[in-house]
Amino acid sequence: MSNPFIHETQKSGHGILVDIIQALVVAITINVVIYFLFIIPSQVDGPSMVPFLHDKELLFANKTPSWFNDNPDTLKKLNWDYQRGDIIIFDFENIVLVKRIIAKEGDTVMLKDGDVYVNEQKLVQAYLPAGLKTYIPQAGLSNLEEGVAVTVPAASFFVMGDNRPNSKDSRFKEVGFVPRSKIKGVVFFRFWPLDRLGVISNGGN
């Protein structure tokens, strides 16, 4: 004669196992959806963002603003648009670059005596090492002229790396202004190396 108590115990254990598996499947599904719809991973390649970001560091970027790259008015109404100081990832000649937004469409940008001016105001760049200057590239390579303000075109951004002497960015004709359509996401988290793990905030003014 079978023992009903043993039967109930076995049935309960099986039910718990099923619940655990179901919970894991749901959790994995949610994470996969979040990963593919909302987050894009990226790796820093080179020294152009030193000291804020270092070569080979791994980052997560929020890709949701890029959903509206063709409809920026929606982003602006939601106060979700790209901002000065944001670190973005964007497509450039079949590679992905990581740079910081310095100026937005309609802003004027000028480099003079190693300082950056946006809308005629000297830019305070707390994310840069003290005393670091920003100079235009040599003649023929530069997108700017010393002391001459340029206006960022519509649907575009002016970006620079934090390591100004070692960054190919909007100062160069080769890169120029970054079209909104090329932006893939806004960096918000560094997940490698573990000793530098943490949230990355906007460094704008």
User: Which tens digits make up the pLDDT trace of 122-161?
Assistant: 999 999 998 999 999 998 999 999 999 999 999 999 999 9
Confidence band, pLDDT 50/70/90 cuts, at residue 37: low
The residues near 38 (Cβ < 8 Å, ≥ 6 apart) are 62, 63, 64
Identify which of 26-35, 59-68, 78-87, 165-174 has the greatest average pLDDT.
165-174
Query: Which CATH number belongs to the domain containing residue 79 in this structure?
Result: 2.10.109.10
Taking 50 as the threshold, does the pLDDT of residue 5 lie above it? Answer: no
Taking 60 as the threshold, does the pLDDT of residue 203 lie above it? Answer: yes
Tens of pLDDT, residues 42-83 = 999 999 999 999 999 999 999 988 888 888 888 788 788 999
Number of structural domains in the chain: 1
Q: The tokens of 27 are what?
A: 């959790």
The mean predicted confidence, pLDDT, of the chain is 87
Is there a catalytic annotation at residue 48? yes
The answer to whether residue 170 sits within a structural domain is yes
Which neighbouring-strand residues pair with 185?
89
The answer to whether residue 129 sits within a structural domain is no
Q: Which residue is catalytic, options 48, 66, 156, 170?
A: 48
Q: Which residue is catalytic, options 42, 66, 99, 156?
A: 99
pLDDT of residue 34: 58
Cα torsion angle, 123, 149, 109, 114, sign = negative
Confidence band, pLDDT 50/70/90 cuts, at residue 13: low
The answer to whether residue 8 sits within a structural domain is no
The answer to whether residue 60 sits within a structural domain is yes
User: How far does CA 201 lie from the centroid of its chain?
Assistant: 10
One-letter amino acid identity for 77?
K
The residues near 150 (Cβ < 8 Å, ≥ 6 apart) are 108, 109, 110, 143, 144
The answer to whether residue 141 sits within a structural domain is no
Taking 60 as the threshold, does the pLDDT of residue 178 lie above it? Answer: yes
pLDDT of residue 61: 94
Task: Give residue 72's domain range.
Answer: 44-104+155-195
The answer to whether residue 63 sits within a structural domain is yes
The answer to whether residue 68 sits within a structural domain is yes
pLDDT of residue 8: 47
The answer to whether residue 142 sits within a structural domain is no
Confidence band, pLDDT 50/70/90 cuts, at residue 33: low
Distance CA 88, CA 99 (A): 6
The residues near 190 (Cβ < 8 Å, ≥ 6 apart) are 53, 57, 58, 59, 60, 196, 197, 198, 200
Taking 70 as the threshold, does the pLDDT of residue 196 lie above it? Answer: yes
End-to-end CA distance of the chain: 79
pLDDT of residue 166: 95
